[in-house]
Structure 1
């Protein structure tokens, strides 16, 4: 009987509610709640048939139908996670040739040397008589050294157009680690799809530097997306008290943390580092002061919203909003704030195969939202 009641509850929670209709600067759209009852959902990936994989921070990988219907049992075979503070099961991504390989990639906080670290595994998604499971689980990345805190794990996974896997991370709350080339914290990482280090990584062969490092000087990246026009990876990261950043991750570049920042120390507001600029260190494409706590990131290239094509969308935990950025090449020329304080903390942003925009809210009773166009 309890299982029947649970199933009925899930079915009820997964029915799309009549949505709110809103008018933005360029588009009239409807927000529909497809699913509630997700526990701190963190990331969303679309399977080729339109179904969705969603991570929940306590450690569950959930399957949702194309209509948002939440399946009662989580996907089996996921790794053990440390679900404390900002840790837990974080990003999910599919191999670029998923139809052939079946590989699903998961980023999470895992145990490491009496502490914890950002880690990545991959496993093959299999369906055994309707029971989904990850099999052939392979650990392909462990951030070393471990950290003792439970903050600033990151982490986002993005494949580039050459099939390289980029891991956008944090510095585990130990700011000086971001500048140390023998330490993987506070770096973006570039791997081959099986975890090997590409021989053309910028620090490969350099004495005292780890060959997996792609860029350095990052505080806590929680959004990353491939620019479909240029093939570059764009990423958002949390500043301290102010100074949230949007950056383009380029090989061998130093993004400054904690030497330069537009943020300040919490509480006192005192200066961090040497100021906001320094020779040899990158300036952000865009920065937010006061902080918005940016998370999921997505370029819009669909057909459902022609007026938004080419725009960049960022979820924001603070102010509970979706931020739309208009671009001119590598410059942000306009910002619009949507859904502010309406639905909760926006953790992830994705474009679906139907060209609609899907959002996850990071709450104890988290939701999957869908943005659809409404004719004027």
Structure 2
């Protein structure tokens, strides 16, 4: 029997294939790859294909934990433990070479497609409160479908269980799609919580998508971590807008971090040939799907096929071909002084850690580190300045990257 897929399913299948297959590590000059979107031009110098930073270090690799099941996010605890999420809905603690059994107490997650347990974060006062936050794809049986949600709870002293668990934020509206949940959690310097919420892979012509202010789709949100309510100082106060919105017109943000000045930067999955680095400002529109670099997965234009429009922001940088970004940090550590202040981004399709050298708020150079290492899902900095990377997969792993000769 021959089964013929519908056009939406063919596009979904192609999108998943692009995200799953790393670019070949054999080609050293990644800027030599032809663009996937023909005839598009950057809006300014070095907005894409910035000069390649020469002289990549050869890093030592040490496997710290194997057998993880689709790991997604991680965060340090003040006592040196590392919390790691697995998409199937489990949270584990890595400490002193040991990986804990799953921590109990988490709510049910929808792990179909790209859903599941996603990011995890702790506030600066964790040592006193034991409070953690986590994002996940929440099944919404009462409304149908699922949606990104944020929960919080207290981690027991032995780190075996979460107690007093409650959901503080629910993305509206839910949708019956297994795609594009976001979702990174980042505390700002005022103690408020940024949440990145994907546009749920709705068609570009969807009227109630990332451009509409009456929903949480394709948005950066800023909420009070205690209540989930909109943070004071958010830009939208009119009745028809969701007050949690910080910025809008995004696609699927899976990388977010504060820079040394305390500003939020994000990297989002674009279409084929359109991943974007942004510096989201309050109340501004980042264009999806009206403007974008790249094309749809069937090579047709996205919308009208335009890359710029008045009232919509240009990305600081974009990738074509894509890197499939997930997880990012600004490097601040002692092991690699030449990286100080640089942006390090996990590349799922790039199969590497993508390093960007910034000059002010522009990209001055790009480098691919440890090419061929696998699908880099998240990045953290160890106390000694080494990098810890989560490698996506089932099984997945936690790997330490260090300067050759550095003590483990």
Q: TM-score with structure 2 length normalisation?
A: 0.82
Query: Which structure has the higher relative contact order (CA within 8 Å, separation 6+)?
Result: 2
Partner of 1:65: 95
Alignment of 1:194-205 (within 5 A): 194=226, 195-204=228-237
> Do the aligned residues in 2 keep the contact of 1:27 with 1:305 (CA within 8 Å)?
no
Residue 167, structure 1, aligned to residue 198, structure 2:
no
The change in CA–CA distance for 1:66 and 1:117 in structure 2 (over 3 A counts) is: same
> Do the aligned residues in 2 keep the contact of 1:26 with 1:307 (CA within 8 Å)?
no
Give structure 2 stretches of 5+ with no counterpart.
Answer: 1-53
Partner of 2:248: 216
Alignment of 1:78-97 (within 5 A): 78-97=106-125
Partner of 1:153: 181
Please report how far the alpha carbon of residue 249 of structure 1 lies from its aligned counterpart in structure 2 after TM superposition. Answer: 1.5
Please report how far the alpha carbon of residue 269 of structure 1 lies from its aligned counterpart in structure 2 after TM superposition. Answer: 3.4
Partner of 1:371: 401
Alignment of 1:1-376 (within 5 A): 25=55, 27-67=57-97, 69-71=98-100, 73-112=101-140, 113-127=143-157, 130=158, 132-174=160-202, 175=204, 176=206, 177-194=209-226, 195-204=228-237, 206-228=238-260, 230-341=261-372, 343-375=373-405
Please report how far the alpha carbon of residue 352 of structure 1 lies from its aligned counterpart in structure 2 after TM superposition. Answer: 2.0
> Do the aligned residues in 1 keep the contact of 2:171 with 2:197 (CA within 8 Å)?
no
> Do the aligned residues in 2 keep the contact of 1:312 with 1:326 (CA within 8 Å)?
yes
Write out per-residue CA displacement over residues 175-218 of structure 1, whole angstroms, 9 at most, x where no aligned residue: 441001001111010001211212321002x1210101110001
> Do the aligned residues in 1 keep the contact of 2:59 with 2:370 (CA within 8 Å)?
no
Q: Secondary structure at the match of 2:174?
A: coil
Please report how far the alpha carbon of residue 131 of structure 1 lies from its aligned counterpart in structure 2 after TM superposition. Answer: 5.8
Instruction: Select the structure that is richer in strand.
Output: 1
Please report how far the alpha carbon of residue 133 of structure 1 lies from its aligned counterpart in structure 2 after TM superposition. Answer: 0.8
> Do the aligned residues in 1 keep the contact of 2:198 with 2:219 (CA within 8 Å)?
yes
> Do the aligned residues in 2 keep the contact of 1:241 with 1:265 (CA within 8 Å)?
yes
Write out per-residue CA displacement over residues 305-335 of structure 1, whole angstroms, 9 at most, x where no aligned residue: 1111111000011031110110111111000
Please report how far the alpha carbon of residue 102 of structure 1 lies from its aligned counterpart in structure 2 after TM superposition. Answer: 1.3
4+ residue runs of structure 1 moved beyond 6 angstroms?
A: none
CA RMSD across the alignment: 1.5
Q: Secondary structure at the match of 2:279?
A: strand
Q: Distance in 1 between matches of 2:96 and 2:329?
A: 20
What is the number of residues matched between the two proteins?
Answer: 346
Q: TM-score with structure 1 length normalisation?
A: 0.89
Q: Distance in 1 between matches of 2:390 and 2:243?
A: 34
Q: Secondary structure at the match of 1:132?
A: coil
Write out per-residue CA displacement over residues 58-88 of structure 1, whole angstroms, 9 at most, x where no aligned residue: 0000111133x212x1111011100000000
